Amino acid sequence: MAQSKKQAHLNVFIRGSGHHGGAWKHPDSDPGSDLGLDYYANLARIAERGLLDSLFMADNYSGLGRRLEPFTLLSALAALTKHIGFIATVSTTYNDPFHVARKFASLDHLSNGRAAWNIVTGHSQADADNFGKPGHPEVTKRYDIGDEFVEVAKQLWDSWEEDALVYDRKTDTTILADKVHEIRFKGNYYSVKGPLNIPRPPQGYPVLVQAGSSESGRELAAKSAEVIFTAQQTLGAAKEFYTDVKSRLIKYGRTPDQLLIMPGLGAVVADTEAEAKDLEDELNALVDTKKSLKRLSNYFTVDLSEYSLDALVPVDKSKPIGSLTNGITSRHEVVIDAARRDKMTIRQFLSRSLGGHGHITFTGSVIQVADFIETWLREGGADGFNLLPPLFPSGLETFVDKVIPELQNRGLFRTAYEGTTLRENLGLARPENSHKQLWALGREAN
């Protein structure tokens, strides 16, 4: 295939034993180790060896899954690495802006500019129950809260001017007080005096990431995000999403290169296509089909287990999007849309769910996976991918040791990190202090 000048950005989504539903049962996995630092340190070193942009850590506040708290883990990994970035998922519904702004500023300082915030608005009523809230806000209100939350965080990061720290021994001065400012923010949901009690982060702001694909999510991404993770499962849907979101940037005074769009990709890869399919079959065989179909039936008004696995997915029996207003509605829409576009059988629908939990999956040789990535880049479906290896650490090692060199040979991936911060490696500008002129005018008036 012809080389493309556009290079891919690649993150890896770290999750337990791997992203396939049967990963924890596979003999190559060690499911009990995924609560220990050594396990994640190994994944971080593999990813850094492959020159990946960052590690992405999802999070929520309910359910029975084992989830380490992101700031604790990523701060520890920052001390063990030099280049890889760290994306922490933090909800705007079940946190306070001051607390979150302070934590991200701390992580950015400790990592020398490698922090990023995956902005989510919350998951479910179960989250609300764990925080003693009367109810999980409906989606429009959640995004309104989230929009204001992010604005408060930005103003707090900007409450310190760049040269506020001086450490002048002669004058016995560490901080120039007139360069640290109260923000006095008053909005519909938050009232925050400020300033933040830590200097402006090395990157200005941590890289702002957003993971929603709903209408509200697209607007929040166009206004504030610098990276957006999506779950489009077909190239056609990905191109439509890419064009739509990039076209929204102009009304916020932004340009298309200020936002990177990175779909999730669950790639089962081996030296040959046959070996990759054998691995996929091996993983699929470890999963209880009946339980998985029961779970997938939540998307429908019928029980999928009552259908033949070779029957087409009954997309006409899918639940109305409006019935899921307080859940992750965009994922439901993407999953059903892919089944409709690709005319999937229930077997194919199940296999994709097991391997990518709502994201695109692809099984093939090293060359085929590289071809897939190149096609999506060239056709305008993505600026890169959020990798979902089926099995850790082996799936990540295979990608790093075999797919990355193939991408490099095609000119589609870096051969060295471009800079020292995550922003530099992603090709994103460091934001200026939004209050720079205001602070200067204030000093002139005094």
pLDDT at 83: 98
The verdict on whether omega for the bond into residue 27 sits within 30 degrees of 0, i.e. cis, is no
Residue 44: both structure tokens together: 């971080």
pLDDT at 439: 67
Residues with Cβ within 8 Å of 228's Cβ and at least 6 positions away in sequence, in order, are: 209, 210, 211, 221, 245, 259, 260, 261, 262
Residue 417: both structure tokens together: 């990190």
Residues 301, 307, 313: CA angle, nearest 5 degrees = 65
pLDDT at 185: 97
Q: Is residue 442 predicted with pLDDT exceeding 80?
A: no
Q: Is residue 4 predicted with pLDDT exceeding 60?
A: no
pLDDT at 305: 87
Q: Is residue 2 predicted with pLDDT exceeding 50?
A: no
Please compute the mean of the pLDDT values over residues 27-52 and round it to a whole number: 96
The more confidently predicted of residues 291 and 150 is 150
Let me know: does 393 contact 42? Beta carbons within 8 Å: yes
pLDDT band (50, 70, 90) for residue 348: confident
Q: Is residue 314 predicted with pLDDT exceeding 80?
A: yes
Please compute the mean of the pLDDT values over residues 141-153 and round it to a whole number: 95
Which tens digit of pLDDT belongs to each residue from 135-146?
899 888 999 999
pLDDT band (50, 70, 90) for residue 399: very high
Per mean pLDDT, which of 135-139, 199-203, 313-317 is the most reliable?
A: 199-203
Q: Is residue 14 predicted with pLDDT exceeding 50?
A: yes
Which tens digit of pLDDT belongs to each residue from 102-112?
999 999 999 99
Over pLDDT 90: what percentage of the chain?
70
Which tens digit of pLDDT belongs to each residue from 355-396?
777 789 999 999 999 999 999 999 999 999 999 999 999 999
Let me know: does 355 contact 313? Beta carbons within 8 Å: no
pLDDT at 290: 87
The more confidently predicted of residues 67 and 81 is 81
| pTM of structure | 0.91
Residues with Cβ within 8 Å of 119's Cβ and at least 6 positions away in sequence, in order, are: 90, 92, 146, 150, 208, 209, 210, 211, 220, 224, 225
pLDDT band (50, 70, 90) for residue 441: low
pLDDT band (50, 70, 90) for residue 67: confident
The more confidently predicted of residues 329 and 277 is 277
Please compute the mean of the pLDDT values over residues 134-162 and round it to a whole number: 94
At which residue do the structure tokens 């849309």 appear? 337
pLDDT band (50, 70, 90) for residue 122: confident
Rounded Cα distance between 99 and 293, Å, is 41
The more confidently predicted of residues 323 and 129 is 129
pLDDT at 1: 41
DSSP string, 355-383: HHTTSEEEEEEHHHHHHHHHHHHHTTS-S
The more confidently predicted of residues 253 and 65 is 253
pLDDT at 87: 98
pLDDT at 270: 97
Rounded Cα distance between 91 and 121, Å, is 5
Please compute the mean of the pLDDT values over residues 326-350 and round it to a whole number: 76
Please compute the mean of the pLDDT values over residues 273-293 and round it to a whole number: 92
Amino acid (one-letter) located at 278: D
Q: CA-based Rg of the chain, rounded to a whole angstrom?
A: 22
DSSP assignment letter at 318? B
DSSP string, 226-256: SEEEE---SHHHHHHHHHHHHHHGGGGT--G
User: CA dihedral in degrees (52, 352, 295, 121; nearest 10)?
Assistant: 40
Which residue ranges form the domains of the chain, and what is each CATH number? 9-272+357-445 (3.20.20.30)
Quickly list H helices, 169-315: 215-224, 235-248, 273-284, 289-296
Which tens digit of pLDDT belongs to each residue from 234-282?
899 999 999 999 999 999 999 999 999 999 999 999 999 999 999 999 9
Q: Across all residues in the chain, what is the average pLDDT?
A: 91
CA atoms within 13 A on the CB side of 410: 24
Least confident of 46-55, 89-98, 197-206, 225-234: 225-234
Q: End-to-end CA distance of the chain, in Å?
A: 64
Which tens digit of pLDDT belongs to each residue from 49-61?
999 999 999 998 9
The more confidently predicted of residues 351 and 198 is 198
Rounded Cα distance between 318 and 347, Å, is 17
